[in-house]
A and B are shown apart, each in its own frame.
Chain A
Amino acid sequence: MFTKNRLWVIMLIVLMVMLSASGCTRANQEVILATTTSTTDSGLLDVLKPEFDKQTGYDLTIVSVGSGAAIAMGEKGEADALLVHSPKDEQRIEDAGVAVSRQIVMHNDFVLVGPADDPAGIKDKPVAEAFKAIAEKQALFLSRGDESGTHKKELGIWEKAGITPAGEWYQETGTGMGATLNVAAEKKGYTLTDRATYLALQENMDLQILLEGDQELLNIYHVMQVNPEKFAKVNAKGGKAFVDFMVAPETQEIIKTFGADKYGQPLFFPDAGKEE
């Protein structure tokens, strides 16, 4: 019985080694980017990945989760670079020495979308007032509920409005921006979204932008490296290469025009090197 067991163990090990034969060669070539859903749902990274791979010879693995989950991956040393939009959390992990060489990449803005008939009458109000109106009318509001950058922004606005959202009218989807917009469109609810994802999806849904342009609604994306001195297994050169790539003039030019032909307006505005 003992030898039989050993045979199984050996077979399993052989299997693992065979499976990882392809894996080992790419250990140094692979750069894992943990990022928010908006950069992939909008299609931006589909355009940037081949450019990055071609320019640097690395192989970029894009793991698209919310900013919260992406930052958590960084905190475990499970990613080499982060591209996220949750400034407070970014500051926190930068202070903790988890993230280094953090740089501004681009911005767009959040918009408050909802059904065209606007049951809570929020159109063009200041954003905190609009949130108050939604809560008072108990109009359906869909929250991401996933610790993402958008979710954090939304919670910040509720806090500013002095409201703790709860009840039948406030529902958390726990999924990405695209999925949440779909739910909002289907149930005729309000939701806060980044403009890029909304523009990418709008043709399929019945949601209008009801509120935009408030200073409060600025959405800033930063790129950063996960600190290789803190995590031995992080690909230091690869992470740095990605940060450099994102702020390089050629990449910024791609960002500037991305989506303009399809949506009639750009989805992101390049910001590299700018003061915040």
Chain B
Amino acid sequence: MESVWKGIQEAVRLLLTGDPEVLRITLLTLKVSGTATLISLVMGIPLGAFLALGRFPGRRFLMSLVNTGMGMPPVVAGLWVTLFMWRNGPLGFFHLMYTPAAMIIAQSVIAAPIITGISAAAFQQVNGRLRLQILALGASKLQTGLLLLREVRLPLMAAVMAGFGGVISEVGASTMVGGNVLGRTRVLTTATVMEVSKGNYDIAIALSVILMVLAYGVTLTLTILQQRGNRT
């Protein structure tokens, strides 16, 4: 227990003194996971709406794929992104391996199915008659979509939180495609693993505390936004 106490003290010290290395790692964590969540939103919400509201052959099959993808193990995403990204892979000419961009792509692969799946479920919950009514009132397809989006904003915020929570906590994909390079691709989770294997438990505990605080802070902000949406 002594090392836990030491770790918490270390965390407070690192946070208060604004240790530049820790600050950089923390900001990169936010940047990578935030961007990946945004990309997943841009792809996931329209796709979710399409899967929920569209009528076409193979829809159920696609839904089952997305629902399976919601449980995508990060290391699987990491491995496949690696195979595509490294020098001799099909996308090797972009030189993305061991960059934050590669981590964003891998994390998007993890978060996109989560957000798509929850969005699809949310859109399916909307009463079908509402959609008919909106259409009957002469709304265009785009207008209909926007109105429905308003209807499902609460579960959509839950989708954002689930997606963000999924990627900020993963370590397998980030290690594989990012390489945990100091000052470039080291994020809170990969740094924690490294410090544990170096035997620096106090720093590892400090990093984990920072990660939890960060995850809580972001989720709290999103929850407040969500609940405000609930009142009006």
Contact = CB atoms under 8 A, between A and B. Distances in A.
A binds B: yes
A78 interface: yes
Interface string B162-192: 0000000000000000011110100000000
A15 interface: yes
**Chain A's interface: helix, strand, loop or mixed, by majority?**
helix
Interface stretch (A93-101, A146-154, A171-179, A216-224): A171-179
Given A49-B182, A78-B87, A233-B88, A63 B98 contact: yes
Nearest to B3: A204
A230 B94 CA distance: 21
B201 A27 contact: no
B158 interface: no
Given A20-B95, A27-B95, A182-B197, A62 B181 contact: yes
B197 A30 contact: no
Given A20-B96, A23-B99, A32-B98, A78 B184 contact: no
A135 to B, nearest CB: 27
Contact of B184 (A41, A61, A175, A231): A61
Contacts of A61: 98, 179, 181, 184
A237 to B, nearest CB: 16
Interface in B186-214: 194, 196-199, 201
Nearest to A15: B39
Interface string B78-99: 0000000011100110111111
**Chain B's interface: helix, strand, loop or mixed, by majority?**
loop
B154 interface: no
A20 B197 contact: no
Given A176-B197, A204-B199, A20 B101 contact: yes
A64 B198 contact: no
A63 B179 contact: yes
A24 B181 contact: no
A15 B39 CA distance: 10
A20 B94 contact: yes
Contact of A26 (B91, B95, B104, B179): B95
Contact of B197 (A23, A41, A233): A41
Given A178-B197, A200-B199, A201-B199, A22 B86 contact: no
A43 B182 CA distance: 12
A211 B98 CA distance: 39
A46 interface: yes
B198 A24 contact: no
A15 B199 CA distance: 40
A182 B199 contact: yes
B87 A24 contact: no
Contacts of A37: 197
A43 B197 CA distance: 12
B105 interface: yes
B86 A78 contact: yes
Given A19-B94, A19-B96, 7 more contacts: A24-B95, A26-B95, A27-B95, A61-B184, A63-B98, A78-B87, A176-B197
